Chains A and B, each alone.
Chain A
Amino acid sequence: MYRRVELLDLLMGTLASLFPQVCTAVLMPHRSVQGRPIIALRIRAGTGNRTRSVLIIGGMHAREMMNPDAIIELQVDLVLAYVNNTGITYGGRSWSNSDIKLMLETQDIWMLPCANPDGREYCFNVDDMWRQNRRDNPGPFEGVDVNRNCDIVWGVTVGFTSCNPMDETYVGPDRFSEPESRNIKDFCDAQAIDVFLDVHSYSELVLWPWGHAPTQTTKPNQNFLSLATGTCAPLQPPNHQEYMPSADQQHYQTVARQIGDDIRLVRGRNYIPEPLNDLYGTSGTSTDYVYSRHIANTALHKTYGFSFETGPLVLHPNGSPNVPESFHPADPTLIKDDTKAGILSLLQKQDLCAMDFLGASRPETSSGLDRIRKFRDEQLAKTEAGRELIALYERVQIPLLGLVLADESLTSEAMSLLEISTKLVENEETVLSTRDVERGLAFLDALASRTTSKDLLTDLETVRKQLEASADKSVGNILEQLVGTSSASTLSKKSTKRRPKK
């Protein structure tokens, strides 16, 4: 069943009214083309410091009707799990009460379930395959594709993007001409959003930038800033490849793969992780735009943009695609469970950094954390071995953080080790003492004794061996090993730098 816009808004108003310490209903800066209010819900729990913000939107394309419903159902599930101190389960994937607590108390979660309310209502009342907003264009055709209207290579007819109002992928008369897309820009201007997710249908994909061209990681000067826009012509040069730092590419790949893994646990659906351009070429999309902001203007906050394509392609008995059933199936319940699991996975895997979390109460560690991030982005991400280390860290950080926070003594020890680590990286001449290594090993043993996960134990054992091998070596030597040798030897640095922080 699909809910009209008024019911979506009613639910968010009810949550804000019943749980004011957790939920706040927020009116977006711009009403829709037809004057409807566009409402988001902020979920924020606890009183601790927040270092992260995430924005999740749905319903940009009106006929992709499952996603606004999935997002408000997730709002209810998150709030109830928090206030009742329970977990959340979708099919075969569960999140514990401490997982939920961690998600809600460490970040601001903004959810805008229906970014294009006019279009959604038009689907209910007139045309269930309507995609755009309800802009009254000059001429007989209505609507602008609000997910082609953002200021990133706008007005370039790459792939499935059109400057013709008769087309469903019409880019609009100007960049951000539409209030529905302008809301995304103004919201990101007002809030430092770390992670953005735009939920679409269908195809079962987890996507990330770039959409307008294939990605390359070696030529920073070949980027969108040099491309002509508003041309209503194909991309020039046609063989353009868009730059992305290898660290970001690695990050996107890792997180998207993890999200796919979590969705698969729900009921076995296989969401493929890939760049937007692998699906087909696009320009002016919200996901590309939010990620491009910090490149176009270095003063702006960096936002990682993701997109889902939820639900499978449904076929007619004769094997041809059943497009309406793919966009709004008669029973979307299971697809919504996949979607909600994917969003929770993103909230957990992408938007939490264990080091940030532990370091939040120790300001003296912030410069050391910055140095570690810089090393990660500028050196580790450029080698195979380094990328394996980053993947390992991102794989284990959340489960280990859960173990650490469940035990006060472990939390205290983790913070002390974090402080030691951030001091170590101040000077590459510093030698990692045997005493510090033994302390780190004891910490690893304590973690290992608290888990039965074979994968986690394997990772802990790998780190353990490398930490042992790092005793009495200078930080510089360890760093060189991390970047330049095989994954086996590089783990030693990872362990000394990162493991204690969990």
Chain B
Amino acid sequence: MKQVKKKSKAESKKSQSARKKTSKKPKSASAKTPSEGLTLATTESPPNVRFSATIHVRNVTDPTWFERLAIDRVPDPTGAIRALVTPADCVRLVNEGFEVRLDAAYPVQPLNPALIETKESFQRWMDEKLQTAKRAK
């Protein structure tokens, strides 16, 4: 979990604009959250970093154990239970007895500007596409 804390701190400034004011009234613990672990996390702020992680359980008695995780699962080439997790997710999952292995951190940040089409390039693309078109009758 050191990695969680370290990265969170390092990235915290970047994501200030993404955060809502934490002075907002915290969600009630009596809301639709069946697990106490979730109650812990509802007082946290929105994440400033996410991790790609695999989640493990030591003694598998229920083959569908991973369906109780309430996480955002993503595909894994080895068939592992992989998810994008926030620091709060990590805390909750560990508290619930799962083992969380982090392997990549993704700071909360806008899409790389180099990947965003500009109006000018869009206009050129559209003009090029449409210039050969006959008008519909």
Which A residues fall within an 8 A CB radius of B?
1-4, 7, 10-11, 14, 18-22, 45, 65, 76, 79-80, 82-84, 123-129, 131, 136-142, 155, 157-169, 202-203, 232-234, 238, 280-281, 313, 315-316, 318-324, 326, 328, 330
> B97 contacts which chain A residues (CB < 8 A)?
none
Chain A residues, CB < 8 A from B106: 129, 323-324
Q: For the complex, is B71 an interface residue (Cβ under 8 Å from A)?
A: yes
> Does B13 interact with chain A (Cβ within 8 Å)?
no
**CB-CB nearest in chain B for A316:** B104
A-B residue pairs, 4 tightest by C-beta: A139-B27, A232-B32, A163-B32, A1-B117
How distant is the Cα of A318 from the Cα of B103 in the complex, in angstroms? Answer: 10
A2 touches B116 (CB 8 A): yes
Contact of A127 among B18, B72, B74 (CB under 8 A): B18
Taking A128-B111, A281-B67 as given, write out 18 further A-B residue pairs in contact, using a Cβ cutoff of 8 Å, ordered by the A residue number.
A3-B117, A11-B126, A18-B130, A18-B136, A19-B135, A45-B136, A80-B132, A123-B111, A128-B109, A138-B24, A140-B44, A141-B27, A164-B33, A169-B70, A203-B75, A313-B75, A316-B104, A320-B52
- Cβ of B121 under 8 Å from chain A: yes
> What residues of A have a CB within 8 angstroms of the CB of B34 in the complex?
157, 163, 232-233
B73 close to A280 (CB less than 8 A):
yes
Binary contact track B48-71/A, C-beta < 8 Å → 1, others 0: 001010000000000010011111
Measured CB to CB, the closest approach of chain B to A463, in angstroms, equals 39
Q: How far is the CB of A458 from chain B (nearest CB, A)?
A: 37
CB pair B71 A167 closer than 8 Å = yes
Contact B42 A166 (CB under 8 A): yes
Closest to A23 in B: B136
Which label, helix, strand, loop or mixed, suits the secondary structure of the A interface?
loop
Instruction: Tally B residues with Cβ within 8 Å of A.
Output: 62
A1 contacts B136, C-beta separation under 8 Å: no
Q: Are B70 and A126 in contact (CB-based, < 8 A)?
A: no
Residue on B nearest A326 in the bound complex, by CB = B74
B24 nearest CB across to chain A (Å): 6
Cβ contact of A167, chosen from B43, B70, B74, B126, cutoff 8 A: B70
Can you list 9 residue pairs at the A/B interface with Cβ under 8 Å?
Answer: A125-B110, A131-B72, A140-B19, A157-B68, A160-B71, A166-B42, A169-B71, A322-B104, A326-B74
**In the complex, chain B residues whose CB is within 8 Å of the CB of A136:** 20
Q: Is the CB of A7 within 8 A of B136?
A: no
Give, as a whole number of angstroms, the nearest-CB distance from A485 to chain B.
40
Say whether A7 contacts B117, CB under 8 Å: yes
Q: Contacts A165-B42, A232-B32: A84 and B122 contacting too (C-beta < 8 A)?
A: no
Q: What CA separation (Å) do A19 and B117 show in the bound complex?
A: 24
Give bound CA distance, A316 to B134, whole Å: 46
Query: Counting CB contacts under 8 A, is B129 at the interface?
Result: yes
B137 close to A (CB within 8 Å): yes
Report the Cα distance A324→B111, complex, angstroms.
10
B45 touches A (CB below 8 Å): yes
Knowing A125-B110, A140-B22, A320-B103 touch, does A157 contact B129 (C-beta < 8 A)? no
Of B43, B45, B75, most buried by chain A (CB within 10 Å of CB) is B75
**A-contact bits for B10-54, CB 8 A (1 contact / 0 none):** 000001011110101111000111100010011111100010100
* Given A163-B32, A163-B33, A166-B38, CB of A83 within 8 Å of CB of B133: yes
Contact call A127/B109, Cβ cutoff below 8 A: yes
- Per the bound structure, the CA–CA distance linking A414 and B77 in Å amounts to 50
* Given A138-B27, A140-B46, A328-B115, residue A18 in contact with residue B84 (CB < 8 A): no
A186 to B129, CA, bound (A): 34
Contact B25 A138 (CB under 8 A): yes
* B111:A328 contact, CB within 8 angstroms: yes
Q: Interface centre among A3, A161, A330, by most B CB within 10 Å? A: A3
Whether B108 is near chain A, meaning CB under 8 Å from some CB there, is yes
A3 vs B125: C-alpha distance when bound (angstroms)? 12
Given known A-B contacts A125-B110, A160-B71, A164-B38, A83 and B136 have beta carbons under 8 A apart: yes
B residues within 8 A CB of A161?
Answer: 70
**B76: nearest residue on chain A (CB-CB)?**
A321
Q: From A138, A155, A320, name the one whose CB has the most chain B CB atoms within 10 angstroms.
A: A320
Beta-carbon contact of B68 and A126 below 8 Å: no
Q: Closest chain A residue to B19 by CB distance?
A: A140
Q: How many angstroms between the C-alpha atoms of A45 and B112 in the bound complex? A: 39
Query: Which residues of the other chain, A, contact B77 by a CB distance below 8 angstroms?
Result: 313, 315, 319, 321
Interface pair B103/A84, CB less than 8 Å apart: no
